[in-house]
Amino acid sequence: MRPLVNLEIASLAERHHTGIPNVTKHLARELLGDATVEPGFWLNRQRLPVRLVEEIVALDGAPHLWWLAGRIADGEASTITDALSVGIYPSHKWHRRFFEQETLIVHDLTAVTMPQYHSEATVAWENSRLLPDILTSDLVVAVSESTRQDIRDYFPQAAAIPVEVAQLAPCCGPPDQVHRVKVAPYVVVLGTLEPRKNVVAVLEMLQREPAWIDAFTFVFVGRWGWGTSIADLIPTYGLTGAVEAGRVQFTGFLPDAERDVLVANASCVVYPSRYEGFGLPVLEALALGVPVVTGEGSSLAEAGGPYAIYVDVDSPTALARGLNDALRDTGVRAASARRTWAAQFSWWKTYERIRDLALETAARSKAANACDRFR
Amino acid sequence: MFSIDRPADEILISSERNADIRRQMGGAHYSYTLVEARFVELFRRLGYDTRTLSDPQRVKDRASGQFHVAFRSSENLRVVPGAHNICHFAWEFDVLRDASLPSDPILPNQAHMLGLFREIWAPSSYTLKVLRGVGLSQTVLVPTPVCETSPQPRLEARAILQLIGSLPAIPLRFSSEASEVENLELAQRGLCHLGQVPAIADRLAGGEGRIFLVVCNPGDLRKNLLNTIDGFRSVKRPGDVLLVKLVVANTGDHLIEAQHRYLRPLYRGPAAAADRDVYFVTHFLEYVQMQALYNLTDFYISASLCEGFNLPLLEAMAHGAVPVATTSTAMADYIFPDNSVKIGARPYIGIQTGMAGEVAGRPFVVQAPSRYDVASALRRAQQLTERERRDRGEVAAATVRRLYSYETVGRLVTERLAARPAERAA
């Protein structure tokens, strides 16, 4: 009998699939393709039809998912099975102890470790949810060793809950299938516009060293999250003229395929984040063979390994130096090495590790409670 | 030694319904009113008159030593000056708000408010232990009377149908995304009378299906209603039916909307559910109707995380329904292997927000059964033969009669009332 692997996919109801929704989408795709298990997809307490999920994971966003879930009552309330059964939450739980065995994926503890970079509402929400979610899990999967360490350091109450690491994988398409074009040189700055992602570090660098704008167009890719608006940032850093001349551009959210083309053809990617749970954009840039400059510390070195350039993102001088280093490192061999590094990460590996860890935990629990199957 | 045979004839009562209800302690205040009614009846049987006070604190001229018994949540407790002040207080968490800075508000400090009373009557050993644990040494065990000493007469099918057969029964048909009009249409399409529910009619005619009942305030998160419903739906067999008697404020002309109104906050997001074996009863029922409902019931499900007493469960047991119940907190006093089917549960800290224990400001532990725990217990209940079920129900009823009859509790109350003058003299 095939094990039942349930995946909570509430985050797919976001308008744009970036960050955690993107992780959820890739896990859902792998689960759909895994013939060794029976898939179950859940939104709140609703089990969604597999055919619907197949449609959803082909989209870049699915805000209509809430509406659909509130309309689909297929009468299937039970996940009770004699087979092993696990539930995987890619982020927070709607209802704790909803699945027989619960695996929680924790992406970062930045609302705890760096609350100053989140809105008050986010800090309040995350701080009230995360620890109880962990305490009610049979297994916690951290997306990096850095996040695993944060869980251990900041939540000693959860010492008895096993925490394992499953690193994420690039969300970009195969590098050899991304369209390559010859264009004037440009630098891509990745990241949602919010304080933690710290894209203002690049704006500050451009203000101090405007020669960069003459040499490269700077393209900021990412939706606005919270904090100072783009309209206010541009004059603050004296970049109104550069924006009007098209030398500094803000694309907002871009679907994966469009972002891939933009990144793959860039001279360099800058990801100036102050703190990450993993650092997917770094890995994605490397997967496309593009040099990347990012912040030192947190989990970013796990994503970038020896192939990213790490700088103090609070220092415009250091950032400029890092950018100079990256732009010198454009050879074919270097690009190939970056792609080789990134190729060791794949969504199948991520999914398989999480699935196997969850099922192993469930099997141990089943053996321990053999006398009463559903306890 | 100074003593009198009998204290004053009149007992002053202050009740929750006259208090300032601002939901400071959660949404379960209705139970104080039910408990008060039981004690008023008990006092009457013991020969006391009762007088209900809207504002006990206004009474300034009472003879010293008169009894005043309060049935209120702690922030609404007020004493009658000069009286022998007693409060009946149920608490279901292992922590109490018992410490604060002098500059903090007094009213939310439960230990402070309870400490103003000469006696605290705790309905369960669990509450007794928690209150004494925070230094409230005047706490004694005086549970709420539940039933008569003699067995409750069983109602025949016809009598049951006469009493509750025409009550509206609303099948589980719920869509969080449908408009109000659509939801009304959904509910109306399945609306019927309780007596028309096929599983109930079959059971009353001797069918093999089982009738499961839960009585709860859906807004009280301890009651674990969604896991109860899911657990039932997971293992139900043909002919089984789950009745959910919602204990809510009178819904007037909007009975049908009630299901949607109360379920939506529980689901906290998009959800749709439909099941013709799960019915909601939203009407207010007189006690005689509740008795009929209990008589109809084979198994009463109480998947509650924690309880100070759990009166509906005890009422159901008194009528021979077999409890399928958790065994923590108050239930440890009366749920035993020979009178119940146990719902297993695992202990968790802070599994959900919005429970009254949060007023303590410290972590508290609850034994939380999942829907799998509920399903597992229901499966064991289904495996009981009709004879085994009936035997277990009889033991359950006998347990309640032994521990919580008017006679048993009356003896305890008489002891407490008699002890008062002796204590004062001492």
pLDDT, position B425: 52
**Predicted confidence (pLDDT) per residue in B278-300, tens digit:** 999 988 888 899 999 999 999 99
pLDDT, position A371: 47
Residue B24 has pLDDT above 50, yes or no: no
User: pLDDT band at B238, cuts 50/70/90?
Assistant: very high
Contacts of B405 (CB under 8 A, 6+ apart): B145, B146, B147, B148, B149
Q: Indicate yes or no: CB of B350 within 8 angstroms of CB of A69.
A: no
DSSP A232-277: HHHHHTT-HHHHHTTSEEEEES--HHHHHHHHHT-SEEEE--S--S
Provide the shortest C-alpha distance from residue B322 to chain A (in Å).
21
Q: How far is CA B335 from the centre of its chain?
A: 15
**Among residues of chain B, what percentage have pLDDT more than 90?**
61
pLDDT, position A374: 47
Q: Coil, helix or strand for B305?
A: coil
ipTM of the complex: 0.83
User: Nearest chain A Cα to B175, which residue?
Assistant: A70
Taking residues B90-114, report their average pLDDT. Answer: 90
pLDDT, position B32: 84
CA distance readout (Å), B313 to A56, B308, B387: 45, 12, 21
Q: Determine which of A12, A42, A44, A45 to mutate to test the interface with B (most B C-beta atoms within 10 Å).
A: A45
User: Nearest chain B Cα to A65, which residue?
Assistant: B270
Neighbouring C-beta atoms of residue A310, cutoff 10 Å: 17
pLDDT, position B252: 55
Give A-chain residues touching B267 at CB under 8 angstroms. Answer: 44-45
What is the C-alpha separation between B87 and B77, in angstroms, rounded? 8
Residue A165 has pLDDT above 90, yes or no: yes
Alpha helices, H only, chain A? 20-32, 50-56, 65-69, 110-113, 120-135, 145-154, 200-208, 211-215, 230-236, 240-244, 256-264, 280-287, 300-304, 316-328, 332-343, 347-368
Which among A70, A79, A80 has the least Cβ separation from residue B270? A70
CB B223 within 8 A of CB B216: yes
pLDDT, position B424: 53
* Token couple for A11: 């985050």
- Average pLDDT over chain A reads 91
What is the C-alpha separation between B360 and B389, in angstroms, rounded? 41
Which among A69, A79, A98 has the least Cβ separation from residue B271? A69
pLDDT, position B1: 29
What is the C-alpha separation between A205 and A340, in angstroms, rounded? 31
pLDDT, position A22: 93
pLDDT, position A325: 94
With both helix axes pointing from N to C terminus, report the angle between B311-318 and B386-404 in degrees, rounded to the nearest 10: 120
Per the DSSP assignment, residues forming a β-bridge with B122 are B141
Provide the shortest C-alpha distance from residue B233 to chain A (in Å).
6
Q: Return the closest-CA partner of residue B86 out of B74, B75, B70, B73.
A: B70
Least confident of A76-85, A348-357, B137-146: A76-85
Provide the shortest C-alpha distance from residue B351 to chain A (in Å).
6
Residue A314 has pLDDT above 50, yes or no: yes
What is the C-alpha separation between A266 and A190, in angstroms, rounded? 12
What is the C-alpha separation between B171 and B196, in angstroms, rounded? 12
In one-letter notation, the amino acid at residue A155 is F
Taking residues B153-172, report their average pLDDT. Answer: 92
What is the C-alpha separation between A28 and A54, in angstroms, rounded? 9
Which among B267, B348, B349 has the least Cβ separation from residue A45? B267
Q: Determine which of B173, B355, B371, B374 to mutate to test the interface with A (most A C-beta atoms within 10 Å).
A: B371
Q: Indicate yes or no: CB of B275 within 8 angstroms of CB of A77.
A: yes
Phi, psi of A313 (to 5 degrees): -75, -5
pLDDT, position B133: 95
The strand pair at B168-175 and B192-193 is best described as antiparallel
For A186, which DSSP code? E
Phi, psi of A372 (to 5 degrees): -135, 100
pLDDT, position B189: 79
pLDDT, position A370: 57
Scan for tokens 């009422």, then name that residue. B315
pLDDT, position B6: 39
**Predicted confidence (pLDDT) per residue in A67-123, tens digit:** 888 887 665 656 677 789 999 999 999 889 999 899 999 999 999 999 998 889 999
CB A41 within 8 A of CB A28: yes
Provide the shortest C-alpha distance from residue B350 to chain A (in Å).
6
- Give pTM, 2 decimals: 0.88
pLDDT, position A368: 79
Taking residues B113-136, report their average pLDDT. Answer: 96
User: pLDDT band at A178, cuts 50/70/90?
Assistant: confident
What is the C-alpha separation between A170 and A26, in angstroms, rounded? 10
Taking residues A348-352, report their average pLDDT. Answer: 98
CB B330 within 8 A of CB B315: no
Taking residues A266-280, report their average pLDDT. Answer: 95
Q: Looking at the complex, does the CB of residue B370 fall below 8 Å from at least one CB of chain A? A: yes
What is the C-alpha separation between B409 and A249, in angstroms, rounded? 79
pLDDT, position A154: 95
* Token couple for B84: 């022998």
User: pLDDT band at A142, cuts 50/70/90?
Assistant: very high
Q: Coil, helix or strand for B142?
A: coil
CB A163 within 8 A of CB A151: yes
Scan for tokens 């496309």, then name that residue. A288
Give B-chain residues touching A81 at CB under 8 angstroms. Answer: none
pLDDT, position A237: 95
Per the DSSP assignment, residues forming a β-bridge with A270 are A189, A293
Residue B198 has pLDDT above 60, yes or no: yes
DSSP B22-44: --TT-S-THHHHHHHHHHHHHHH
